[in-house]
Structures are given as structure tokens and as C-alpha cells.
Chain A
Amino acid sequence: GIQVEQSPPDLILQEGANSTLRCNFSDSVNNLQWFHQNPWGQLINLFYIPSGTKQNGRLSATTVATERYSLLYISSSQTTDSGVYFCAVYSGGYQKVTFGTGTKLQVIP
């Protein structure tokens, strides 16, 4: 099946710093989604981005489907950005979903 790898696995940032999270996938996909799992376990939608670039406030995402990767940018990080960031890819005729291994982010004041 399709493999989804995220890097880095762990990241510690000083509040106000910027970061880039990466998601690589091993085969063509129909769609890609980024999530933030907060410390209480709730998965929050960030971007649904099969290709191109989207921005939402301090966050933006770029997916280059032909090269099989996606990037999530966090600018001016805040402590509330802490948690685990997952990417998930959709493949196959009936939307099989494969999650990446996640990037655990800790933003310290």
C-alpha cells in the first residue's frame, strides 16, 4: 500500500519562530489533508489540498502532487500550535485513507 512519511518526527520551537513540516507519499493520490491533533486528542482540519497552495492566517500549505510531497508552514508560532500534525492521503477508487506518522510540535514561551 501507499506509504506516507512525515518529517521531522519531533520539533521544539521558541514562540514566534517559523517552521516547515513535510509529508512525502509513495504513490499518486486523489487528495491530501492536513490535521492538527490538539493535546486533548481532537483532530482539527487545517487544509484539504490535493495540489497548489492555500493559506489560512499564520498557516499555509503547498502540495506538489507530481513530486509526491506536501509542506505545511507555520509562521510566528504560538503555544497553542503545540500538538501533533498529521497529513493524510486519499487513494484508490473508494477513498482509502492513509495517515502519516505525524510531527509532534512543542512551542515554548
Chain B
Amino acid sequence: GAGVSQSPSNKVTEKGKDVELRCDPISGHTALYWYRQSLGQGLEFLIYFQGNSAPDKSGLPSDRFSAERTGGSVSTLTIQRTQQEDSAVYLCASSSRLTSGSYNEQFFGPGTRLTVL
């Protein structure tokens, strides 16, 4: 089956514009994660969804960042009034939930490279 997909693969935008990044998780995966990886840096957790709910939004860097998930599937990460420091690779991952309530391993998409000029 298909893995996690993300679109667009690359996005160049001007400072102050809004952008939307899309993530299609693996079919049947109930958990979905967004991360950010700045140039040469590690991965920064942004937000986690279980179904359509986001129990933990603490990783979102500012109120310009928001995310939603609909139908327990596709998720959109929106960045409003983009700033140059938002330039990074945005990665999405998904995982399935076990009957015990714990989670299986995460699988990552290829990422969206965002450049804010």
C-alpha cells in the first residue's frame, strides 16, 4: 500500500503570505504527527492528532501556526503571515493504534520544503 504522502514537495512564498501544507497518512492510521526540521537541525515536534482531535498543540511555535484533520485522514498545516524563520522542511508521520491503546511505530512522509523569501 501507499506510504505517507505530502504536498507540495516544495513551496516558495513571500514573507507575509499564508501557506497550506497537506499530509495524507497511511490508510487506517489513526495517529498523525507534524514536525519541523530546520536546516541541519533535528526534528521539532509540532502537533499530534488522534483521529480528528489534537490532544497536544504545545509544539506549535506561534499562533500563526494551525492544523486540522478531517475525516480521520488528511491533515492540513497552515502558516499565516509567513516569516523567514518559518523556512524549514515540514514532515508528517502517521501510526496505527494497538488494541491496548499504545501506538505502533511512526512512518514518515517525504516532507515539504518551505522557503520564505
- Which residues of A are at the interface with B, using a C-beta cutoff of 8 A? 30-31, 33, 35, 41-43, 45, 48, 86, 88, 90, 92, 94-102
Contact = CB atoms under 8 A, between A and B. Distances in A.
Interface residues of B, number: 23
A94 B55 CA distance: 7
Interface stretch (B11-19, B62-70, B71-79, B102-110): B102-110
19 contacts: A33-B105, A35-B108, A41-B110, A41-B111, A42-B111, A43-B91, A43-B108, A48-B104, A86-B43, A88-B106, A92-B56, A94-B48, A94-B56, A97-B33, A97-B106, A98-B45, A99-B45, A101-B42, A102-B42
Nearest to B97: A95
Nearest to B111: A41
Contact of A96 (B45, B105, B110, B111): B45
B105 to A, nearest CB: 4
A45 B106 CA distance: 8
B42 A48 contact: no
Contacts of A43: 91, 93, 108
